[in-house]
Chain A
Amino acid sequence: MDFDLNEEQRMLAKTVADFCKQDSTVERFRKLRDADGDGWERRVWQQMGELGWLGVPFPERVGGFGGAFVDAALILEQFGRTLVPEPYLSCLVLGGYALLLGGSEEQQRRFLAPMVEGRSAVALGWAERRSRFDPSRVETSATRRGDGWHLEGEKIFVLDGHAADEVVVSARTDQGVGLFVVPGDAVDRQLLRLLDGRRGAHLRLDLDVGDDRRLSVQDGAEVLRRVLDYGAAATVAEGVGVAQSMLSRTVDYLGEREQFGVKIGSFQALQHRAVDMFVEVELLRSINMESIVRADEEGIERERAISAAKLQLADGGLQVARQAIQLHGGIGVTDEHDIGLFFKRMHVLATVGGDEAHHVARYAKRMD
């Protein structure tokens, strides 16, 4: 048993951490949030591609490095620390793994390889009004039309779907759930502001696509379940960075802010809240390690580990986020202060890929 990163992973984490500190501070996120535009920058996405960050978990045939999901998770953890807005979770993980697990090699070269280079972003649209967190509940339909398919239906809360070049969507065929790649600008997109200041879209689908845009996999729902597990593990990995950042920002604040003539961090009631945060962060860090290592595995232990990690994120991670606001007092409830941005991101992460109730129920079904 060894929890240490290898030399390459340590270097990768350090390079990403330096980037976050110098080139993608919280201030950058805030500016992009408040500006018109996508909320993130193509220029930076491309830079990430050049640095190889978009290829770490993918095979060499699409320009990747043949690593494991762990490597992508390391990057996400660092991104969480300063709220890096590029669509790593929404496109690289969700869109990327959908293409990797669902597409033929030809389709991977066509749709995934450009994303690995940072020239494209591929989002994933699977959720519908009545699906809740179950990707097999699909009402969007795909019917044969000529050589291709006619897609009709609605996909909701497609993360970064407003700006994606391509979107992988699920649709019901007469043989089950199929996955299709649709061009972003060929669908009717309703731009959405999300709770955490990022963006997404509701997609109204009513278009024809060629058969070459149907991913080769037969059981699309099964692929989506795996992809959403990667997504869930990714939210936890990013959540570790968010939680760690909230803890250290809060501890700093407790050591600076004075009331009653003393630093408020000297009060036991506040110290114990800070320690409660620390405990939850350490538990999150611990279960995250199991979750990201098992993400590439087949079988029930992967699902158990990832669901346990999601519970720790939704329960422990949100406790950290809420305590952080409480300990900042009134200033923590203003939009001006950064701590609230982390709070909101944590809430989004806790929900994406299945919320607390979903994962507890899933785990309960898989209990002996």
Chain B
Amino acid sequence: MDLTFSAEDEAFRQEVRGWISGAMPPEMRAKAAANHHFSMPEIMQWHKILYAKGWVAPHWPKEYGGAGFTATQQFIFAEELERAGAPGLSPFGLVMVGPLIQRFGTDAQKARFLPKILSGEEVWCQGYSEPNAGSDLASLTTKAEDQGDHFLVNGSKTWTTYAQYADWIFCLVRTSHEGKKQAGISFLLIDMKSEGVEVKPMLTLGGTPAFCDTFFTNVKVPKDNLLGPLHGGWNLAKALLGHERTLVGSVGIVERGLRVARRIAAAQVGPDGRPLAQDPLFRAKLARLEMRLRAHRMANYRAVAVQAKGHHPGPESSILKLVGSVLTQKADELAMELMGHDQLSWLNDAGAVPEFERWVPSQYCYDRATTIYAGSNEIQKNIIAKLILGLPKQ
């Protein structure tokens, strides 16, 4: 057992850290330092900076324009991005549909889509959930009818995050009613500019326009845009859930939350006139969270080490989503508590509360989503109960 990073990996960390601090534009750095929310245009601005450096897709193989990082380097890279507070990139192209196109796409599909995902020229969103198909995703009813040379798509998708900025959407659609409901689902790539596609953004609890409903009325989709086999979409979706799970286990997000909390604790004055950072009760609360994070970080390292040896992470890595999502919320909750009266503020103009507190209430509210998205924690528990613990069918 050796829990240290190699000298090469540590050198890589220093290189990445140095590059990030130089590459972030000053206004972005200022926002990151004040823990502000990044808008989608800002996120895409950062995407293009990373693209120019060749680091936008650390997990993609080199042949598709990826950075060719090792598993360990990818983890370090992600940690350093989080540490710097850099905007989190939109995962829908880079993390979700991109790897699926690499694995299941035709040569033509790869050539058509991958370069523009990489460059950020085309933005993607995800069309999975429907008003009546949430945790029971396989009951989805948005249908794609075979019209000879194209599919005709009708239905609606919800939680299509940032669809208003998207050029493309990847969708699970029903192409058959025969057999098990999972067996009649296909995976379609749909141009958002197609006639009959309508997007209605809605505000999240965080006050940001991240969510959307997306409606499809007689939308014609070329047959070439079917990814993977007809009726074979469920397997693609399952492969994708793996990516999503690792994504939300992120240690850096919790670390950043704790950093925010510590900063608030240093600035807020406690009942005895000293900073809350010196108050034993709050120090203990901060300590507990940091200690829990430490265990979570080691669990992540274990998953990384398995991947670094070229193995797929075991199903055990599914705890990372459960733990990471809860810790993210706990860090938000503590930051709010530390803020005292300031936690009553809602996205006010400068001066109402310290700048680094401004977005905390919004983040706290939005992060209730962490235990819901990417397969709610209850669904994750069902999966672990069945696949890992081998408990009897419900």
Contact = CB atoms under 8 A, between A and B. Distances in A.
Interface of A: 1-5, 9, 70, 251, 254-255, 262-263, 265-268, 271-272, 274-276, 278-279, 282-284, 286-287, 289-290, 293-294, 304-305, 307-309, 311-312, 316, 359-361, 363-364, 367-368
Interface string B294-317: 111011011011001000000010
Given A271-B394, A311-B292, A367-B283, 11 more contacts: A251-B390, A271-B381, A275-B384, A283-B319, A283-B323, A284-B295, A286-B295, A289-B298, A359-B291, A360-B291, A364-B280
A264 B10 CA distance: 50
A278 B380 CA distance: 12
B1 interface: yes
Contact of B301 (A1, A70, A282): A1
A279 B323 contact: yes
A283 B1 CA distance: 17
Contact of A268 (B2, B299, B382): B382
A253 to B, nearest CB: 11
Interface string B1-31: 1111110010000000000000000000000
Nearest to B383: A275
Given A312-B295, A360-B288, A278 B302 contact: no
B284 A1 contact: no
Given A2-B1, A266-B392, A363-B290, A290 B298 contact: yes
A316 B323 CA distance: 12
B385 A275 contact: yes
A4 B382 CA distance: 29
Interface string B375-394: 00010011011001111111
B284 A360 contact: yes
B287 interface: yes
A364 B72 contact: no
13 contacts: A1-B305, A3-B3, A251-B391, A271-B394, A274-B391, A282-B319, A284-B295, A286-B299, A311-B291, A312-B295, A361-B284, A363-B290, A364-B283
B3 A293 contact: yes
A284 B385 CA distance: 19
A271 B316 CA distance: 16
Interface string B265-291: 000000000000000100110111011
A247 B295 CA distance: 19
A222 B3 CA distance: 26
Given A279-B319, A282-B316, A364 B287 contact: yes
A290 B284 contact: no
Contacts of A4: 1, 305
A282 B3 CA distance: 17
A364 B284 contact: yes
Nearest to A304: B294
- Can you list the 9 inter-chain pairs with the closest CB atoms, starting with the nearest? A271-B385, A287-B295, A286-B298, A364-B287, A308-B291, A286-B299, A266-B392, A308-B294, A364-B283
A275 B383 CA distance: 10
A361 B382 CA distance: 36
Contacts of B185: none
Contacts of B284: 360-361, 364
A262 B286 CA distance: 44
Contacts of A287: 294-295, 298
A191 to B, nearest CB: 37
B3 A279 contact: no
B322 interface: yes
A361 B283 CA distance: 8
B1 A5 contact: yes
Contacts of A268: 382, 394
A276 B394 CA distance: 17
Nearest to A279: B319
A293 B2 CA distance: 8
A254 B391 CA distance: 7
Contact of B291 (A9, A274, A307): A307
Contacts of A275: 322, 381, 384-385, 389
Nearest to B262: A368
A312 B299 CA distance: 13
Contacts of A254: 391-392
Interface in B348-394: 378, 381-382, 384-385, 388-394
A53 B290 CA distance: 35
Contact of A364 (B286, B302, B393): B286
Contacts of A311: 288, 291-292
A363 B323 contact: no
Nearest to B326: A279
A265 B385 CA distance: 9
Contact of A274 (B308, B322, B389): B389
Contacts of A263: 392
Interface in B202-249: none
A282 B5 CA distance: 22
Nearest to A271: B385
A251 B1 contact: no
A328 to B, nearest CB: 15
A330 B358 CA distance: 51
A156 to B, nearest CB: 27
Nearest to A265: B391
B393 A266 contact: yes
Contacts of B322: 275, 279
Contacts of B389: 251, 271, 274-275, 278
A254 B1 CA distance: 34
A361 to B, nearest CB: 7
A1 B291 contact: no
Given A282-B316, A305-B294, A290 B3 contact: yes
B64 to A, nearest CB: 27
A283 B381 contact: no
Most chain B beta-carbon neighbours within 10 Å: one of A254, A275, A276: A275
Nearest to B308: A1
B392 A367 contact: no
B301 A363 contact: no
A162 B299 CA distance: 40
A368 B385 CA distance: 39
Given A1-B304, A254-B391, A265-B391, A289 B385 contact: no
Contacts of B308: 1
Contacts of B298: 286-287, 289-290
A287 B286 CA distance: 18
